[in-house]
Amino acid sequence: MLSITIIQTHLHWENKEANLRMLEDKIRNIGERTEVVLLPEMFSTGFSMRPAELAESMHGETVAWMKEISEKYKIVLAGSVIIKEEEKFYNRFIWMLPNGQYGTYDKRHLFAFAGEHLQYTAGNKRAIASVKGWKINLQVCYDLRFPVWARQQLQTKEDGEKVPEYDVLIYVANWPERRSHAWKTLICARAIENQCYVIGVNRVGKDGNNLYHSGNSLVIDPLGEVLYHQADEEDVFTITLQKEHLENIRTKFPFWKDGDQFNILEE
């Protein structure tokens, strides 16, 4: 089993201090036992196209805050942050462990419709995190529209057995309400085609560009069944994923074995 908490929240536009205070308060008040806490895309600033003013290094305030909160509450803390590295800006998903170690994933598909590709550098490597024997694929918002990037691949164990690459697919997002139908539809599709749990964590409220976000955070099981859905309101929700349920579905319906094998080439 793996307990995961989704924080669907309004974000203070380009105000790191206010967002970090608000998020710590929400984390402090989680009532249930949890092991992983998920925050939206660019949780400390909102989805801003001003990285030159807002970006931090991996030694900056927000990453330090993540380390502190993760250790204090004994949780994996995850969400994306604006990061500057070698004079480039990244929309970076950070997976922070309580011991201060972390993994990162740089958003691959930059949202050209909003000019993200003009301000940020795209990543070129997927990231599969591991916790309690669960393999978790980390992705960000617009990545959802590109199924090849998330496609389940087969891995070979030492004994030669073929197994799916990951068990949970996570999208952290700032996805506007006007395209919420696509959001809800594609998250269900990713779960069905990859035979995994999918979690989408989105923000609510208007951002600094007056775009309204309806949340619609979701947890979908490997058959495409909706286990959690919340629209329009802030919510802190904890769910326990069942490994036995996942394995039973994959055993009963072993469609994953028939998938096409391929390599994604770097540009």
Of 104, 28, 225, the closest CA to residue 7 belongs to 28
Task: Tell me, yes or no, whether 8 lies in a domain.
Answer: yes
159-168 confidence digits (pLDDT tens): 878 899 999 9
Helices (H), 47-135: 51-54, 61-73, 116-119
Query: Would the pLDDT of 267 be above 70?
Result: no
Mean pLDDT of the chain: 96
The secondary structure element, H or E, covering residue 58 is none
Going by C-beta distance under 8 Å and a sequence separation of 6 or more, which residues neighbour residue 42?
A: 11, 48, 80, 81, 82, 91, 174
To the nearest whole percent, how much of the chain has pLDDT over 90?
93
Bridge partners, residue 80, by sequence:
93
Kindly state whether residue 241 falls inside one of the protein's structural domains: yes
Confidence category of residue 262, pLDDT binned at 50, 70, 90? confident
Q: What is the DSSP letter of 99?
A: T
User: How many domains, the chain?
Assistant: 1
Q: What is the pLDDT of residue 159?
A: 81
For residue 128, give the nearest of 116, 118, 138 by alpha carbon: 138
Considering the domain boundaries, does residue 227 fall inside one?
Answer: yes
Whole-number pLDDT of residue 98: 97
Catalytic residues: 41, 107, 141
The answer to the question of residue 262 being in a domain is no
Asked whether residue 266 is assigned to any structural domain, the reply reads no
pLDDT for residue 266 is more than 80: no
State the average pLDDT over residues 194-208: 97
Residue 123 has a CB neighbour count (10 Å cut-off) of: 20
Q: Does residue 100 lie within any of the structural domains?
A: yes
**Tens-place pLDDT, residues 27-78:** 999 989 999 999 999 999 999 999 999 999 999 999 999 999 999 999 999 9
Q: Does 212 fall in a domain? A: yes
The amino acid that residue 5 corresponds to is: T
Q: Is residue 263 part of a domain?
A: no
148-195 pLDDT, tens digit each: 999 999 888 878 788 999 999 999 999 999 999 999 999 999 999 999
CA-wise closest residue to 38 among 231, 237, 180 = 237
Range of the domain at 107: 2-257
Q: What is the CATH number of the domain that holds 177?
A: 3.60.110.10
